[in-house]
Amino acid sequence: MSKFFADTNVFIRYLTNDDPEKADRVERLLHQAIEGEVTLTTSVLVIAELVWTLESYYGLSRSEVAEKLTLILNTPNLEVPERQRILRGFSLYVEKNIDFIDAYNAFFAKDHGITHLLTYGKKHFKRVEWLKRAEP
């Protein structure tokens, strides 16, 4: 079975259909993954870039971004390190109106038993019950 790394723009073409020919090719690729003919891999940074691009350039709402990316992340034979942490991060991103990277980092801290966060600004971390925010 072939294994490929899927970059941000591959998912963007599919999710936005801004280039229908490329979107169709990506759809076929995703079906190949679903059928077990190929394995796709991507990274946490690709997901972060997808969130930023879909939100800032394409103007999607947080809930639209989370919905689309949750569908992508649940594609069989798509390997994504820290998939569960990313999916949990979407809950804070949408429900608590926290930037996705900060939501991801909040769960990173929680998963590592960290309860204190050092940061300047970023008062939205007050919405995260398990973190105590302080300045260094």
Structure tokens at 44: 């946490």
Nearest CA to 26 out of 44, 9, 51, 47 is that of: 9
pLDDT on residue 103: 96
* Contact call for residues 110 and 130 (beta carbons, < 8 A): yes
Identify the structural domains of the chain with CATH numbers, from first to last.
2-134 (3.40.50)
Coil, strand or helix at 133:
strand
Per-position b or e across 92-109, b if 16+ CB within 10 A of its CB: bbbebebbbbbbbbbbeb
Predicted TM-score (pTM) of the model is 0.92
pLDDT tens, position by position, 72-128: 999 999 999 999 999 999 999 999 999 999 999 999 999 999 999 999 987 888 899
Structure tokens at 29: 């690729």
